[in-house]
């Protein structure tokens, strides 16, 4: 069984994650600033169009911030052992979505100086925007140090069987799939393909998985049955669970 490797984000990954989080926070600050402006200046019958424009702008900024924040978390994940930090770090986008829209929604529906039509149109748009931003903000499969550690070791175990003596894989510029063969149909004629270890693929891309075409080809070449490969993964997972 390959040596167990604990995932630790590289300094380069931490620096990239820090930069992405900075841009995400900046987008969220502008979004909340736009919300404050909308509450103070745009909740009027004659400015309904501009109020809707502001809501759309706030939505775009909230979603962009959430996307950047999630990318940062995949480069530098939190540990599941610190449950509070783990929850806040991974679900911050959803929290910000509520902060960016809920006060505005309340202000629209509670304002006595606008008519029912304005309340209905602007209020519904604001509620829908809050729901969209919230959905984008939620991370339904949050990364963690523990999850990356288990997956790196599982995939290293698979790779050691499929390509004995070779721990390098191929990465394309985009995507979350790594390859065993440079002539795989998905990367054969693509530029910018690099080689890396499984751990480096996690550091550079976050969660990665083996290309199914490469996996089937290697299993056929090495005459490995699917249950043999699955059994090794199961044994490794049980060993990791027992060590926790």
Tell me what pLDDT residue 240 has: 41
Mind listing the pLDDT tens digit for each residue in 83-124?
Answer: 999 999 999 999 999 999 999 999 999 998 899 999 999 999
Mind listing the pLDDT tens digit for each residue in 155-188?
Answer: 888 888 888 888 889 998 877 788 999 999 999 8
Are the CB atoms for 153 and 5 separated by under 8 Å?
yes
As a whole number, mean pLDDT of residues 12-25 equals: 95
Cα 92 to Cα 96: distance, rounded to the nearest angstrom: 6
The partner residues of 194 in beta bridges, in order of sequence, read 171
């Amino acid at each position: 069984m390959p040596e167990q490797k604990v995932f630790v984000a590289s300094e380069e990954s931490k620096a990239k994650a820090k930069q992405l989080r900075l841009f995400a926070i900046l987008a969220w600050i502008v979004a909340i600033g736009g919300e404050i402006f909308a509450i103070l200046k745009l909740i009027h019958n004659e400015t309904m169009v501009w109020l809707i424009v502001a809501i759309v702008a706030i939505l775009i900024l909230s979603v962009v911030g959430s996307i950047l924040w999630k990318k940062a978390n995949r480069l530098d994940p939190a540990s599941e052992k610190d449950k509070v930090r783990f929850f806040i770090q991974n679900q911050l986008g959803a929290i910000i979505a509520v902060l960016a829209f809920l006060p505005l929604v309340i202000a629209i529906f509670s304002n006595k100086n606008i008519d029912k039509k304005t309340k209905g149109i602007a209020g519904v748009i604001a509620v829908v925007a809050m729901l969209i931003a919230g959905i984008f903000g939620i991370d339904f499969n949050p990364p963690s140090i523990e999850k990356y550690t288990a997956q790196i070791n599982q995939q290293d175990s698979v790779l050691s069987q499929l390509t004995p003596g070779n721990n390098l894989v191929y990465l394309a510029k985009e995507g979350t799939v790594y390859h065993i063969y440079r002539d795989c149909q998905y990367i054969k004629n693509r530029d910018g393909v690099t080689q890396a270890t499984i751990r480096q693929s996690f550091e550079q891309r976050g969660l990665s998985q083996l290309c199914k075409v490469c996996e089937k080809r290697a299993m056929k070449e090495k005459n490995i049955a699917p249950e043999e490969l699955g059994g090794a993964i199961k044994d490794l997972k049980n060993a990791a669970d027992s060590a926790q």
